Structures are given as C-alpha cells and as structure tokens.
C-alpha cells in the first residue's frame, strides 16, 4: 500500500465531516470541561454503521471458533488467502485506523477512550476468554453501549507491571475468588461498565512466583469503587481514574478463560503489540493537524512586512513536520498491509513504530506551538491542546524507555 | 417510485475566495480547488432516499438513480451519492465549456426519455452558477408538472401525486402535482419531517441534514454500476444558448470605513462619493 484508496479517502472525508460538525464544536467542553466522550462516540459508531460491521466480524469469528477452526464459512470474506480476502482484511483495519486519524485531529483523548474500550478490553477478552465469555461481554462493548476498561497499572507498578503487581486473587474455597487491590491511571475507569482486572493468584507463595490472572468485573459489583476522573496534563476527553477492590467476590465465570492455567504473561506480548500499533494512527492525526494549522498560520501571519512562511527558519519547521508525517504515514500503511496479509507485527517492530511515532508527534506538536509563538501558548489556539495531548503517547502503552529496551533486547537476544 | 436525481460537483463554497480568472478573462480557473457535491443536490439525494425507504425497517421501496454531466472525475461525486444509498449512477461525459442550462436540460430530458423515472428531484440551483433554471427548463421540455423550492414533500394517492410545500417570500405555498413531475428542493427539505412517504411512520424523526454514508455504504458504492454515456450520443442539439464573453473579479475592497451621523449624511455620501444611488 503506497497511497490511500478512493474508498479510504471517501471514508476519511465522511468521518471528517462528522468530526467537524459534531466534535469540533464541542472541543471546549470535552477538552476543557468534564464532558465524557461516550455519547459522541456512540453517535459516530451508529452514524457510520461501525457497530454493525464489528458485530458481523465478531459473529464470523465466534462461528469459526464453534466449528473448531477448520474451513472458513463460504461467505466470510476475510477467511481465505485470495487477494480479495487480503484486501478485505486490510480494509477492515483501515476502517478502524481512518476514524482514529480523523478524531485525533481534534480530540486524541476520544480515541484513547474508544481504543481502550473497543481495542484493549475487547482484545483481551477475545484472546483470553472462553467463547461463552466473549458472547456475554463483547457485543455491548463493540457498539459502546457499554464502556470497557483494562486495569493493569497500580500506584506502585508501572513499567514493571507484572513484577511489582500487588493486586491479588485468592480462591474462596467454593470455586470462586476474592479480589483485592488498587489500580490507577485507568482509562475509562470512572465510567466503565465492564472492567478487565489483572492481578496475581495468591496461593500463599512468594509474590514473584505467583501466576498472573485476569477477571471481568461489572460496574456496581460489591467491593468495587470507581474514582472520579483524575486531573491530568492533556487528553481530557479521555476520563482516567482509580479503581479500588476490597473483598470483591466473583465466580469462576469471571476468570478469563475460566482456567488458572492460562497465565496472563504468556500472551501479554500480543496485547502490548496491538496497544502500541494503535499509537501510530493517533500520532498521524495529531501531526497532520499540527502541520495543516502551521501551514495556514505561516501563510497568513505577517511579521516584518511579510508572511512568516517566507522565513527560512519557519520553512525548516514545516519541512521537518512533513518528513515526520510521511514517516508516520508509511508506518500506518505498513500496519494495514501486514494485517491484510494476516501477519502480526512483532513486539520489537511494534515498539520501534510506537517509539518513533510518539516522539515525532511530540516534536511536531512542540514545533507547532513554537511556530505559532505567543498564540501557540494560548488555549484559544488548537496546537496548545494537541501539544499537551501528544505527551502521553510517549508514556502510555509502555514508555519510550521501555520501547527502547524492548527493541535492544530483541536485537541482542541471538 | 423511480427517482432520478441530477447531481453537479461544484468548487467547495467555503473556498470561493480562491477562485481565479484566467489572464485573458476567458475562463474561471478551478485549479487547486476541492470539489464537493452541490449542497442542494445532496439534499435532493437525501430527499429521494427518504421517499424511497421505510426508514425504521431499513427497507428500500424504489430505485434512486443519480446522474451527472462532466469529466470522468465526476464519478467520485456520483460515488458519494451511491455510498449514501442511491442504486445506480449515470455519468454523461462532457466538459464545462460544452454545458449551459439549455444543454443540461436537453441532456436530462434524453435521460428521462430513456429511464422513465416517476420523478426528477433536484437541487433548486447550484452554488457556482446560481442560475436556478435547469429544473424549470427541463419541466417545460418534458411538459411535466413542476414544483420548485420544495421544503416538504409527501406522497398521496398510492404514490400517484405529491403534495409539495414551496418556500416563497410570503410563506409556504402548497401545491399538488401529479407524477411524473419535476421537483426542485430547498434547504429545509432535509429537516427531520421534510418528507412523508406513507411507509416511514409519520412520527419518525430523521436527523437534520443529508445522511452520512456508512462505512459499509462507502465500501459497497464501488460495486454499484455507473453507466457511462457521451453527450454526443444522446441525440440532442448540443449547441449552447448562452455564452460568457468575459470574466473579471470584482474590484478589491478598499476597507475604508466611514461613519456618518445621520441618514441624510449617508444618502448624501452614497450619492456624491460612492455614486451608488
């Protein structure tokens, strides 16, 4: 893939119209107030029939599972090796990526909220849950009728997510479990209806030797407290909160996979990979918007009697932003192609892409603020918000430092 | 019912200030401008889709055809209408220089003779030329009833007649037209209750404005047929009846602002200085 197709452009154009009509006018309340993004996200999903598409793909996958793999259903366009099915798979991924790019031009936080719900929470249930658990929890999450959260980070465990994890599950002796612990920086935490809670099985053994398990919790489960949104630097359209679990009693049907044998760490790389690849599309939206606002400003802002775009120092900023945009777009294209060919991105490659895109988005957004001068520092001008929003791309889904370690570890492993 | 909706692409009206005139004044150049469907035509597509569906059941009740005259790129404009839900497109290959109100109306008449729609539903005017004449000319050529500036349309008598609310200066004029007919639509036709077709429940509230194409609709649009025709193949007189001898941009505004104390002062300055009255 070297260019967006006509259909991709048509999707981008349609979503952009929605974003400019529905999201842009509410940017103040979303980014400078406490309005949660969910109603708007639901409206977008409804408007473009995204829920129906996701539910159809979900139904096809459940059908494949129930058949125990084997031959694909004749009418399932994504389940064969023909060029048409490559295209269908690639288009399915593109249809998720394009709205991400378009929303990120205005409110990257909304993508974080949506990505954690539909991407991470659903993704975890789909890779670890039983078929019954998938059917029970996933459909309502795909339409965002219910909001999902994925809880791993704790006050004392961030980059060392598993090593320092304190949250525990203890067997209750009757086939169920008692859960304890506190989680923080949980996207959608304040409003989530369905929470994937990751913790260690306490069998009286040392913390280091404990298995990591994951559970699905509903809002309102006795013993579960969801905090109010935390104040943060940017991405205010993504509510972030804390979760507190005190003697939360759950049955085995809440244990993902319904078996203690499915150790969470074993498949964690896939979750981390998918989380990291999502950042490239977000970075692309932020960079595209910063660049287009900067070009307009450079053409129209007059100083010393001419538009500042005529000064070479400003031209250099624009040129470097364009280089970043091209690179990030190429990474996004590669992701779409890989998905089309049914190939997963390796963790090292996902880390490399995420590291580059997050840094580039931050640099471009900072340069956009610089190019706008005093105006860029004012909340009235959009680049100020995008700059604050971009920073978290270097922190969440693994910090830049963790990505760097992962890439180096992969290079040196042989 | 079978509805034909002519659609024209126009320069993005939000960027109208970027329109340039060629050095010799012979043409308006559209280089570097983005194209969009004429907004009134988009409303006509929406109105046609509403007339031809049972909205809550997501059922189609008739065929909606969209057509456009222009170069090959016009297919993209047709694809947008197909993505919204229209069934088939017809592209008549022609250059801007070949077209004026009369030629477009003749071409549409040829299409109507061929396709035999029950209704031609179109925008009241395009936002580039603003002639507001193709619908009226077409109705005259066809000898069909016509209702212009429609803000409401409802079907009666089992789809044999339409009641059309027309937006006029003094209020709303209600007309009953017998099909086949030509109806041109105004902005308010896409209000939530602009269209009543007897199938979609009367209390159904549409969203304000033309619908967004769904992702599925966009992907399906590439599989829908767009018939290709040439202007010269329609068997019509292709001589234009109007010509543009010269284009020039209005003089640049000086930006001078003069404050006046009284109405008499204002009238005096308009007479002596601005020579506007």
Mean pLDDT, chain B, rounded, equals 92
Cis peptide bond prior to B180, omega within 30° of 0: yes
Helices (H), A250-399: 268-300, 312-340, 347-372, 382-391
**Per-residue pLDDT tens over the stretch B81-112:** 999 999 999 999 998 888 899 999 999 999 99
CATH topology of domain B2-252: Rossmann fold (3.40.50)
Rounded to a whole number of angstroms, the distance from the CA of B80 to the nearest CA of chain A is 8
Share of chain A above pLDDT 90, in %: 83
Q: Which of B79, B80, B214 sits opposite A48 (nearest CB)?
A: B214
Q: CB–CB of A49 and B216 under 8 A?
A: yes
Average pLDDT of the segment spanning B191-215: 93
pLDDT level of residue A288 (50, 70, 90 thresholds): very high
Share of chain A above pLDDT 70, in %: 97
Nearest CA in chain B to A6: B76
Check residues B221 and B244 and name the one with the higher pLDDT.
Answer: B221
pLDDT for position A69? 66
Boundaries of every domain in chain A: 6-142, 148-264, 267-413
SS3 state of residue B35: strand
Q: How many CB atoms lie within 10 A of CB B129?
A: 15
CATH topology of domain A6-142: Butyryl-Coa Dehydrogenase, subunit A; domain 1 (1.10.540)
Q: CB–CB of A53 and B213 under 8 A?
A: no
**Per-residue pLDDT tens over the stretch A302-318:** 999 999 999 999 999 99
**Per-residue pLDDT tens over the stretch B11-68:** 887 776 777 888 888 888 877 778 899 999 999 999 999 999 999 999 999 999 999 9
Contact A197, A157 (CB under 8 A): no
Q: CB–CB of B222 and A50 under 8 A?
A: no
User: In whole angstroms, what is the distance from residue A270 CA to residue A122 CA?
Assistant: 13
Q: Which of B212, B214, B218 sits opposite A7 (nearest CB)?
A: B218
Whether ipTM tops 0.85, in short, is no
Q: What is the CATH number of domain A148-264?
A: 2.40.110.10
Average pLDDT of the segment spanning A262-287: 88
The H or E element that residue A312 is part of is helix A312-340
Rg (CA), chain A: 22
User: In whole angstroms, what is the distance from residue B13 CA to residue B19 CA?
Assistant: 10
Token pair listed for B84: 């919204």
Token pair listed for B169: 């200066």
* Whether residue A73 has pLDDT greater than 60: no
**Per-residue pLDDT tens over the stretch A7-19:** 999 999 999 999 9
pLDDT level of residue B153 (50, 70, 90 thresholds): very high
* Whether residue A75 has pLDDT greater than 60: no
Nearest CA in chain A to B223: A7
Token pair listed for A371: 């190019």
Question: So which residues of A are the catalytic ones?
Answer: 275
pLDDT level of residue B198 (50, 70, 90 thresholds): very high
User: In whole angstroms, what is the distance from residue A112 CA to residue A331 CA?
Assistant: 19
Q: How far is CA B254 from CA A299, B247, B258, in A?
A: 21, 21, 12
Token pair listed for B87: 């069934």
CATH superfamily of A267-413: Butyryl-CoA Dehydrogenase, subunit A, domain 3 (1.20.140.10)
Check residues B275 and A245 and name the one with the higher pLDDT.
Answer: A245
Q: Would an 8 Å CB–CB cutoff place B226 in contact with chain A?
A: no
Rounded to a whole number of angstroms, the distance from the CA of B244 to the nearest CA of chain A is 34
DSSP B170: T
Chain B residues 71-110 within an 8 A CB cutoff of chain A: 76, 79-80, 83
Q: Which of A409, A400, A380, A192 is nearest to A283 (CA)?
A: A400
SS3 state of residue A341: coil
pLDDT for position A374? 97
Rounded to a whole number of angstroms, the distance from the CA of A46 to the nearest CA of chain B is 9
Q: Would an 8 Å CB–CB cutoff place A296 in contact with chain B?
A: no
pLDDT level of residue A100 (50, 70, 90 thresholds): very high
**Per-residue pLDDT tens over the stretch A326-375:** 999 999 999 999 989 888 888 899 999 999 999 999 999 999 999 999 99
- β-pairing, B64-70 vs B59-60, is unpaired
Boundaries of every domain in chain B: 2-252
Average pLDDT of the segment spanning B118-145: 95
pLDDT for position A76? 54
Nearest CA in chain A to B78: A10
Interior CA angle at B13 toward B7 and B14, to 5°?
140
Would you give the distance in Å from CA A113 to the centre of its chain? 7
Q: Which of B218, B220, B223, B226 to mutate to test the interface with A (most CBs of A within 10 A)?
A: B218
pLDDT for position A80? 65
Q: Would an 8 Å CB–CB cutoff place B217 in contact with chain A?
A: yes
**Per-residue pLDDT tens over the stretch A152-197:** 999 999 999 999 999 999 999 999 999 999 999 999 999 999 999 9
pLDDT level of residue B179 (50, 70, 90 thresholds): very high
**Per-residue pLDDT tens over the stretch A374-409:** 999 999 999 999 999 999 999 999 999 999 999 999
The structure's pTM equals: 0.88
């Amino acid at each position: 893939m070297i260019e967006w197709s006509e259909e991709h452009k048509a999707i981008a154009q349609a979503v952009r119209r929605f974003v400019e009509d529905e999201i842009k006018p509410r940017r103040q309340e979303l980014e400078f107030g406490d309005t949660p993004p969910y109603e708007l996200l639901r409206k977008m999903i409804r408007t473009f029939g995204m829920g129906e598409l996701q539910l159809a793909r979900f139904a096809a996958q459940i059908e494949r599972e129930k058949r125990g793999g084997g031959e694909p259903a004749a009418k399932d366009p994504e389940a064969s090796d023909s060029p048409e099915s490559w295209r269908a798979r690639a288009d399915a991924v593109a249809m998720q990526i394009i709205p991400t790019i378009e929303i990120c031009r205005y409110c990257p936080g909304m993508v974080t909220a949506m990505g954690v719900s539909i991407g991470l929470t659903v993704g975890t249930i789909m890779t670890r849950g039983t078929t019954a658990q998938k059917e029970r929890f996933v459909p309502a999450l795909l339409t965002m009728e219910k909001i999902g959260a994925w809880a791993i980070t704790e006050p004392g465990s961030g980059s060392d997510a598993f090593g320092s994890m304190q949250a525990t599950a203890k067997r209750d002796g009757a086939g169920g479990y008692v859960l304890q612990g506190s989680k923080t920086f949980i996207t959608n935490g304040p409003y989530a209806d369905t929470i994937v809670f990751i913790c260690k099985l306490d069998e009286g053994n040392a913390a280091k030797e404990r298995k990591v398990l994951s559970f699905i919790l509903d809002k309102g489960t006795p013993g579960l407290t969801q905090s109010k949104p935390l104040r943060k630097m940017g991405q205010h359209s993504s509510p972030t909160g804390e979760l507190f679990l005190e003697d939360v009693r759950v049955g085995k049907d809440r244990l993902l996979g319904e078996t203690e044998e499915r150790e969470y760490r074993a498949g964690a790389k896939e979750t981390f990979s998918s989380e990291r690849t999502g950042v490239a599309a977000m970075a692309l939206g932020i960079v595209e918007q910063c660049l287009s606002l900067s070009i307009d400003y450079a053409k129209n802002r007059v100083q010393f009697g001419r538009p500042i775009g005529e000064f070479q120092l400003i031209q250099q900023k624009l040129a470097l932003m364009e280089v970043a945009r091209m690179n990030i777009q190429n990474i996004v294209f590669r992701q779409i192609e890989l998905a089309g060919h049914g190939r997963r991105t390796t963790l090292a490659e996902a880390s490399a892409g995420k590291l580059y895109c997050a840094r580039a988005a931050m640099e471009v957004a900072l340069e956009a603020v610089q190019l706008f001068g005093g105006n860029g520092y004012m909340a009235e001008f959009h680049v100020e918000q995008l700059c604050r929003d971009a920073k978290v791309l270097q922190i969440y889904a693994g910090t830049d430092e963790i990505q760097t370690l992962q890439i180096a570890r992969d290079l040196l492993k042989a | 019912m079978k509805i034909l909706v002519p659609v024209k692409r126009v320069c993005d009206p939000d960027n109208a200030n970027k329109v340039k005139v060629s050095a010799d004044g012979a043409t308006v150049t559209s280089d570097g401008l983005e194209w969009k469907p004429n907004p009134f035509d988009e409303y006509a597509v929406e109105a046609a889709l509403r007339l031809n569906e049972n909205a809550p059941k997501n059922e189609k009740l008739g065929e909606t055809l969209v057509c456009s005259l222009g170069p090959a790129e016009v297919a993209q404009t047709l694809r947008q209408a197909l993505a919204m839900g229209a069934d088939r497109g017809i592209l008549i290959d022609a250059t801007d220089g070949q077209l004026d109100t009369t030629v477009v109306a003749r071409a549409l008449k040829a299409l109507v003779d061929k396709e035999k729609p029950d209704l031609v539903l179109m925008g009241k005017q395009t936002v580039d030329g603003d002639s507001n004449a193709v619908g009226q000319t077409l109705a005259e050529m066809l000898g069909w009833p016509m209702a212009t500036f429609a803000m409401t349309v409802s079907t009666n008598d089992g789809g044999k007649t339409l009641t059309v609310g027309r937006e006029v200066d003094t209020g709303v004029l209600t007309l009953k037209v017998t099909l086949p007919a030509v109806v041109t639509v105004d902005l308010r036709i896409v209000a939530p209750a602009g269209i009543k077709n007897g199938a979609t429940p009367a209390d159904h509230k549409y969203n304000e404005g033309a619908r967004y194409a769904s992702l599925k609709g966009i992907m399906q649009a590439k599989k829908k047929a767009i018939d290709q025709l040439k202007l010269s193949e329609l068997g019509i007189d292709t001589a234009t009846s109007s010509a543009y001898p010269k284009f020039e941009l209005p003089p640049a505004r000086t930006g001078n602002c003069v404050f006046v104390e009284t109405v008499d002062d204002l009238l005096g300055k308009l007479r002596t200085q601005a020579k506007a009255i």
